[in-house]
Amino acid sequence: MISIHQSLIRLLFFAILVAISISNSLAQPRDTSYELESVFDKADDIPSVRSLLLQQKGRLIGEQYYKGRRANQPYNIKSASKSIITLLVGIAIDKGFIESIEEPIVNYFPEYFAENPDSAKEQLTIRHLLSMQAGLESTSIFNYGKWAISKDWIKFQLDQPFVEEPGGKMVYSTGISHLLSAILTKATGASTKAFAETYLFDPLDIQIGGWDRGPNGYYMGGNNLSMKPGDLLKIGQMILDVGQFEGEQIVSKEWIWDSFKTYTYSNYNPYGYGYMWWNREVAGYKVFFAWGFGGQYLFMIPELEATVVLTSSSDNPSQNRSYKKPVFDLLEHSIIPLLESNY
């Protein structure tokens, strides 16, 4: 017969084993490899997806490429290029090339306004361009073709009539972001690409693919920059680190904070808009993102210290943006739960 003393010893021993087991489970990160494979499989179910990369706390969790795509292959990130442009504007301000976002654009296009005086348009500022609140008729979507084949992209955009009050509702326009590329070149004395290489791409060890130029010779301010998914991931991590990359301040903290505020809202989606960065709530988290036509995404989830890159084929995507729902479903129901488990 077991004595009370022996029973107490056994209970104590059992309690110690339980405590050790709990301690070990807390110390050891949970194996999420199965969930990761499940996320990659679900991404493969979306026909357009070509790459998916997940990073958390500065560590690559996993990456997958589809339909023959490779890690070293640059992708046309389409309108996600606009988010790169706004980083360059911030750097130009930090370096003193541009005085302020309150500068009127007439300072940079005096020849146009000398031939086309317009007191209202002359009051437009760099800030209006950054937040897509210039109010000029869009050169995107149904007007994009006319703008793209025009002989002067700057004149075509500035010629557009006002459809909203400056500083009011968003009028999303690739021509507006192209004005920023021209301003960068005029302010810095270097092409947008050369300026980007000196102050952004080279410090992050990024080698871009192609980048289209407009008929005036300026690099395209809002479209057709090609980057590797892993390099987009570096951009996202730099932003999560409030403008720093490997100890170097690439762009000021103030510019990062200002860029990710909400100044206006999309007319077509439940998205807020900062300085060419989108935001919306997903699964209870505020998600900030760059977005390019066809499904080119750089997502940042600060609460989870996570960056997600998803690129897609841009062959024949629908104008109604039907590719968005499966991507955001994947983010909400698969990617974010994995990141929560890993956090």
Is 185 strand, coil or helix? helix
7 within a domain of the structure (yes/no): no
Tokens describing residue 163:
């459809």
So what's the pLDDT on residue 16?
A: 44
Could you tell me what percent of the chain has a pLDDT over 90? Answer: 85
The Cα 309–Cα 318 span in angstroms is 21
So what's the pLDDT on residue 315?
A: 76
27 within a domain of the structure (yes/no): no
Element (H, E) at 76: strand 75-76
Tokens describing residue 82:
């606009």
Range of the domain at 98: 32-342
Is 152 strand, coil or helix? coil
Tell how many helices (H) and how many strands (E) occur in the chain. 13, 12
Tokens describing residue 3:
């004595």
Yes or no: say if 251 and 94 are a contact pair by the CB < 8 Å rule: yes
Of 195, 86, 198, 109, which Cα lies nearest the Cα of 159? 109
Handedness of CA 94, 106, 223, 169 (dihedral sign): positive
The Cα 59–Cα 227 span in angstroms is 20
6 within a domain of the structure (yes/no): no
Of 288, 307, 181, which Cα lies nearest the Cα of 234? 307
Yes or no: say if 272 and 278 are a contact pair by the CB < 8 Å rule: yes
pLDDT digits (tens, 9 = 90+) for 127-177: 999 999 999 999 998 899 999 999 999 999 999 999 999 999 999 999 999
148 within a domain of the structure (yes/no): yes
The three-point CA angle 319-79-266 to 5° equals: 65
Of 49, 77, 65, which Cα lies nearest the Cα of 328? 49
321 within a domain of the structure (yes/no): yes
CATH number at residue 212: 3.40.710.10
pLDDT, average across residues 176-183: 98
13 within a domain of the structure (yes/no): no
11 within a domain of the structure (yes/no): no
Of 184, 183, 204, 203, which Cα lies nearest the Cα of 195? 184
Tally of domains in the chain = 1
So what's the pLDDT on residue 102?
A: 98
40 within a domain of the structure (yes/no): yes
Is 140 strand, coil or helix? coil
pLDDT digits (tens, 9 = 90+) for 238-292: 999 999 999 999 999 999 999 999 999 998 888 999 999 999 999 999 999 999 9
The secondary structure of residue 206, as a DSSP letter, is: -
Tokens describing residue 5:
């003393």
| CB under 8 A, 24+ apart: contacts of 22-26 | none
Model confidence at 10: pLDDT above 70: no
Binned at pLDDT 50, 70 and 90, residue 30 comes out as: low
